[in-house]
Amino acid sequence: MEKEYLSLKRTPISKVIMDTLSGLIPQSVYTYYQKHKSVILMISFGLPVFALFLTPLFNGNISGLAYYLDALTIACIFAGMALTLNLEAGFLGLPNFGKVAFIAVGAYSFAIPVSIMTTKLEAGTLGFNYTMVIYIGLAISIIVSGLFGVLLALPTLKLREDYLAITTIVAGEILRLVLNNEDSLGGYSGFNIDNPVYITYDSSEFMSSSFITMSQLALILIITALSYYSYYRSSKKVIEHLPKDRHLLLSISKGFSTFVILGLLLVFLNYTKVLSYKALLGLDMLIIILAAIFIIYKSLLLNKIKVEVFYVVMIVVAIVDYLLGLITGNGATGIKYTDWYTFVMALGGMALVFVIVEELYYSPFGRTLKSIREDDTSSVSVGKSVFSFRLRALVVASALSGFMGSIFAMYTVIIIPQTFLPLMTFTLYIMMIIGGTANNKGVIFGAFVIQLLYAVTKGPLVQSNDFFIKNGLDPVNLGLIFVGITLIFFLIYAPEGIVPEHRYNNQRYYDMLYLNDEENQSENPLIAQLIKLSGSSLEGEEWITEGDS
Amino acid sequence: MVPVSKERNGSQKEIVKMAEKYELKAENVYKYFGGLKALDGATVLVEKGKLTSLIGPNGSGKSTFFNVITGYLDYDEDDANVQFQVHDIGNDEPAEIANKGMVRTFQHTRNFPKMTVLENMLVSPKDQAGESILWVFLGKPLWKRQEAKFVVKAMTILKFLEIDHVVDHLAEELSGGQQKLLAIGRLLMTQPSLLLLDEPVAGVNPTLANKIFDRIIQLKDTKGIDVLLIEHNMDVIMAFSDEIFVLADGKVIAQGTPEEIQANRKVLDAYLGESPDEA
């Protein structure tokens, strides 16, 4: 009652509009909209952007293919950053407005050791190669930004949400101003990254030593096949608890997911010329068609499992890739190998962050984070230490955003303090809100839509059109205008975003129940070892009710 | 009226001896809000196997007493002596106290509104392997098996509380009475030995109130879970309590069985104001 009154008072115009609309539109259409809200929103916001993004390609204007690669790379990087923000602000409800500080720390702590090591390497006083330099740089950046997370968390985590927001935004600004005035870190003009890829002129040779070779890939495929086979064997126990068609669906979808991910990886590796064999057109066609069949199979034929946004995004990227290769022929695209390399790094980084964040979300840890977001006092009353959970989540999110920050540094080559304005944090927030707070797949979708929109307004389609210039409008600002309008629209009509959080997800708990049928679980050598190492136990007091009336 | 030990910590022997008889012993609890004495040396003892109630007029400090002994508020004087089983919990954090087996509900029911009833229940168990970030990735076979066990336990408890038909709903979609039952269910998942219930049947119709109390009695008798509760509903308090403490202006003014309390002049005065013939 009270709530209704408040919402009426807050959005009177929108309420009036909605009421009028629902009066005009037939009830069946309205219920259809409510039922398929996320798909409709996804198409109505995603499709125009993707269409505009791809238009120059079909205009025959393919001179600037680097433009596509650039846009997709930065979209992947921002998607990864938005995912780490989602871990803090979406799952845990911690309004960290100093996200840009963690990215800056990650970028600088990657750039500094790498340039030191590269100087030594060129002088011949270093015992390892360029590949190791990058890996060591990434490791340092992850550790340093994780520690920075602890440093910022200790004084601020016990603050109330609004004060935490103020403190973190100020922390980000302080860091930027320090970097701006510290001459040893490059000061205002920024810090150059001695990217080993740019130094080694034979970059294809570099990459073939950095990434997996054909035989290694074959090994991975064999391992995946074996793991799928064992999954299929072990999941036979599920049959007793699930309808048979659902069981079949589960194992098929598991197998297909593995196949799609590895197949797309193969396509990317193929186009990056990492593999020593020539690009095989037929192989790529096969993989892309199978992936498409996978989606159609899941969404249309059985209509029981939702289409997974992540795979859709991956496949769109792959198809764009493929078209580029098809039109221009491999190796004739005018794209530098180093750009491909950065793109693969960005995509791989995003995928890694996605997997980590998704695993955390569907674990007891993620569930406790959600409970703290819902009601922290109540979490304390069942014995959860709120501070410890917040600290650990913040440290993981900082380390991951430091990782994405170092990939960002690789992409920009020169890092300038002016890049790390608070606006970057807000862009990440907008991506999260539009995509769907606390839904990782939605966040990736939101990041892609917004980054591609920015790319369109900066790209050849808009820039070659002198309509805007004639009317005294800088086309680059168009993106900001559109995103602002979209944000307002979403905050009023769909505050939960394009793909809302999946809340009614009890099925995955029922799917675990078959594990109870195992006899002598604690005698299983693997489980016994895990119990020993973790200090946890499987022995719980059984709850038996007697005299139930 | 109540034996009060002068030393903050008695000898080890004494502690064990007290723990044999009393589940919770909270002596000399003081709490001031500015000039207001919310708790003025209150002493409450919960005997094992007895349903103990804490009553008193509004503003007498009942909820403050809960907040202080469960660690949500600090003590204001040093001579408080709070012993739960054999633990001295005077300086513990709320989460530590809950992990020792003394858990509480709140006056306004607090569940996790945007999570399903089952998830609400699954947050509670302690020592979950999957709550450590490293073990989320490394110990998946272990925590999945733990989860499967917890799901079965949660379903049994929900069935016991007769709310198992709403297991797939969000907590916010439940009725007020069901939410109160869910709050108790969440506590039961932690394997508690003492429940502190703050108005478990406030705003609940008499039939459901009796049902909730039936469940509480059943827990006490079959599971050995002791209960200390705050309640304003005198019908159920007098019908079900074994021991009653009456709090007024931060002091315990009476203690005894329901019959003794009903006959006590001081209690009547506290609730209705002092009678004119005494003034």
Instruction: Convert the pLDDT of each residue in A129-140 to its tens digit.
Output: 666 788 888 899
C-alpha span between B116 and B254 (Å, rounded): 43
pLDDT digits (tens, 9 = 90+) for B231-257: 888 888 888 899 999 998 888 888 889
Query: Are B120 and B157 in the same domain?
Result: yes
Q: Which of B64, B3, B4, B67 is nearest to B37 (CA)?
A: B64
pLDDT digits (tens, 9 = 90+) for B137-167: 888 888 888 898 899 999 999 998 889 899 9
Domain count, chain B: 2
Task: Give the minimum alpha-carbon distance from A514 to chain B in angstroms, rounded to a whole number.
Answer: 8
Confidence of residue A233 (pLDDT cuts 50, 70, 90): low
Flag if A382 and B153 touch (Cβ within 8 Å): no
Residue tagged 């069901």 (tokens): B178
Query: Are B277 and B165 in the same domain?
Result: no
| pLDDT, position B171 | 93
Task: Give the minimum alpha-carbon distance from B88 to chain A in angstroms, rounded to a whole number.
Answer: 17
pLDDT at A542 over 70: no
Q: Which of B207, B250, B256 is nearest to B57 (CA)?
A: B250
Kindly state whether B129 is in contact with chain A, defined as any CB-CB distance less than 8 angstroms: yes
C-alpha span between A103 and A85 (Å, rounded): 11
Q: Determine how many CB atoms are found less than 10 A away from the CB of residue B221.
A: 13
C-alpha span between A138 and A106 (Å, rounded): 9
CATH code: domain of residue B241: 3.40.50.300
Strands of the B36-47 sheet, one edge to the other: B36-47, B22-33, B81-84, B87-88
Identify any residues that bridge with B25 across adjacent strands, giving them in sequence order: B45, B83
Flag if A374 and B112 touch (Cβ within 8 Å): yes
| pLDDT, position A236 | 56
Enclosing domain of residue B257: 1-101+192-279
Compute the average pLDDT of residues B217-241. Answer: 88
Compute the average pLDDT of residues A77-103. Answer: 93
Q: Which contiguous run of DSSP H or E holds residue A475?
A: helix A475-493
pLDDT at A198 over 50: yes
How many angstroms separate the first and last alpha carbons of chain B? 24
Task: Give the minimum alpha-carbon distance from B265 to chain A in angstroms, rounded to a whole number.
Answer: 37
A234 vs A85, more confident: A85
Type of residue numbered B161: L
Flag if A509 and B151 touch (Cβ within 8 Å): yes
Query: Exposed (0-12), middle (13-18) or buried (19+): which is A467, by Cβ within 10 Å?
Result: exposed
pLDDT digits (tens, 9 = 90+) for A462-493: 777 777 778 877 777 888 888 999 999 888 88
| pLDDT, position B249 | 86
Kindly state whether A523 is in contact with chain B, defined as any CB-CB distance less than 8 angstroms: no
Whether ipTM > 0.95 holds is no
pLDDT at B227 over 60: yes
Lowest pLDDT segment from A204-218, A239-253, B11-25, B230-244: A204-218
C-alpha span between B254 and A31 (Å, rounded): 61
Query: Who among A364, A384, A535 is closest to B95 (CB)?
Result: A384
The separation between CA B133 and the C-alpha centre of its own chain, rounded to angstroms, equals 31
A372 vs A227, more confident: A372
C-alpha span between A104 and A422 (Å, rounded): 11
* Residue B174: C-alpha distances to residues A296, A379, B183, B213 (Å): 38, 19, 12, 20
Domain ranges across chain A: 36-211+272-279+330-527, 212-271+280-329
Q: Determine how many CB atoms are found less than 10 A away from the CB of residue B23.
A: 24
- Cα angle: A509, vertex B130, A532; to 5 degrees: 120
Flag if B98 and A544 touch (Cβ within 8 Å): no
Kindly state whether B172 is in contact with chain A, defined as any CB-CB distance less than 8 angstroms: no
Kindly state whether B106 is in contact with chain A, defined as any CB-CB distance less than 8 angstroms: yes
Confidence of residue A232 (pLDDT cuts 50, 70, 90): low
| pLDDT, position A315 | 60
Q: What are the tokens at B220?
A: 């006490």
With H, G, I as helix, E, B as strand and everything else as coil, classify residue A489: helix
Taking domain A36-211+272-279+330-527, whether its CATH number is 1.10.3470 is answered by yes
Q: Pick the residue from chain B with its C-alpha nearest to A548.
A: B160
C-alpha span between B27 and B40 (Å, rounded): 11
| pLDDT, position A1 | 41
Confidence of residue A312 (pLDDT cuts 50, 70, 90): low
Task: Give the minimum alpha-carbon distance from B3 to chain A in angstroms, rounded to a whole number.
Answer: 30
Query: Are B61 and B150 in the same domain?
Result: no
A44 vs A310, more confident: A44
DSSP H helices, A330-385, are 337-361, 364-374, 376-381
Query: Are B72 and B199 in the same domain?
Result: yes
Residue tagged 């593999």 (tokens): A275
Residue tagged 């629902």 (tokens): A22
Kindly state whether A383 is in contact with chain B, defined as any CB-CB distance less than 8 angstroms: yes
Q: What is the mean pLDDT of chain A?
A: 76
Query: Are B94 and B196 in the same domain?
Result: yes
Compute the average pLDDT of residues A438-447. Answer: 91
Query: Who among A370, A521, A530 is closest to B115 (CB)?
Result: A370
Contacts of A383 in chain B (CB under 8 A): 95-96, 98-99, 103, 124, 126, 190
The answer to whether the CB of A543 falls within 8 A of the CB of B157 is: yes
- Cα angle: B116, vertex B117, B118; to 5 degrees: 90
C-alpha span between B196 and B175 (Å, rounded): 22
Kindly state whether A546 is in contact with chain B, defined as any CB-CB distance less than 8 angstroms: yes
Kindly state whether A518 is in contact with chain B, defined as any CB-CB distance less than 8 angstroms: yes
Flag if B116 and A503 touch (Cβ within 8 Å): yes
B16 vs A444, more confident: A444
Lowest pLDDT segment from A52-56, A440-444, B143-147, B149-153: A52-56
Q: What percentage of residues in chain A have a pLDDT greater than 70?
A: 64
A319 vs B220, more confident: B220
B252 vs A228, more confident: B252
| pLDDT, position A196 | 57
C-alpha span between B209 and B233 (Å, rounded): 9
Q: What is the mean pLDDT of chain B?
A: 85
pLDDT at B192 over 50: yes
Query: Are B229 and B179 in the same domain?
Result: no
pLDDT at A529 over 90: no
| pLDDT, position A3 | 46
| pLDDT, position A101 | 94
pLDDT digits (tens, 9 = 90+) for B31-78: 888 888 888 888 898 988 889 999 988 888 888 999 999 989 888 877
Flag if A527 and B141 touch (Cβ within 8 Å): yes
| pLDDT, position A251 | 60
Backbone φ and ψ of B54, nearest 5°: -125, 115
C-alpha span between A393 and A94 (Å, rounded): 10
| pLDDT, position B112 | 94
Flag if A381 and B106 touch (Cβ within 8 Å): yes
Q: Which of A196, A192, A194 is nearest to A128 (CA)?
A: A196
C-alpha span between A282 and A338 (Å, rounded): 26
pLDDT at A54 over 50: yes
| pLDDT, position A405 | 95
Kindly report the length of chain A: 549
| pLDDT, position B277 | 59
Compute the average pLDDT of residues A183-211. Answer: 63
| pLDDT, position A287 | 57
C-alpha span between B166 and B175 (Å, rounded): 10
Compute the average pLDDT of residues A522-527. Answer: 73
| pLDDT, position A548 | 44
Query: Who among B110, B143, B191 is closest to A378 (CB)?
Result: B110
Residues 6+ apart with CB under 8 A from A327: A57, A62
Query: Are B96 and B6 in the same domain?
Result: yes
Q: Which of A497, A79, A505, A440 is nearest to A305 (CA)?
A: A505
DSSP chain B: -----SSSS--HHHHHHHHHHEEEEEEEEEEEETTEEEEEEEEEEEETT-EEEEE-STTSSHHHHHHHHTTSS--SSTT-EEEETTEE-TT--HHHHHHTTEEE--SS----TTSBHHHHHHH--SS-GGGSHHHHHH-HHHHHHHHHHHHHHHHHHHHHTT-GGGTTSBGGGS-HHHHHHHHHHHHHTT--SEEEEESTTTT--HHHHHHHHHHHHHIIIII--EEEEE---HHHHHHH-SEEEEEETTEEEEEE-HHHHHT-HHHHHHHH---TTT-
C-alpha span between B156 and A208 (Å, rounded): 57
Query: Are B163 and B205 in the same domain?
Result: no
Flag if A516 and B149 touch (Cβ within 8 Å): yes
Compute the average pLDDT of residues A513-538. Answer: 74
Query: Are B125 and B87 in the same domain?
Result: no
Query: Are B114 and B199 in the same domain?
Result: no
Task: Give the minimum alpha-carbon distance from B67 to chain A in angstroms, rounded to a whole number.
Answer: 11
Can you state the angle between helices A422-435 and A475-493, rounded to 10 degrees? 50
Residues 6+ apart with CB under 8 A from A422: A97, A100, A169, A172, A173
Query: Are B171 and B76 in the same domain?
Result: no
Query: Are B2 and B92 in the same domain?
Result: yes
Residue tagged 């980084």 (tokens): A349
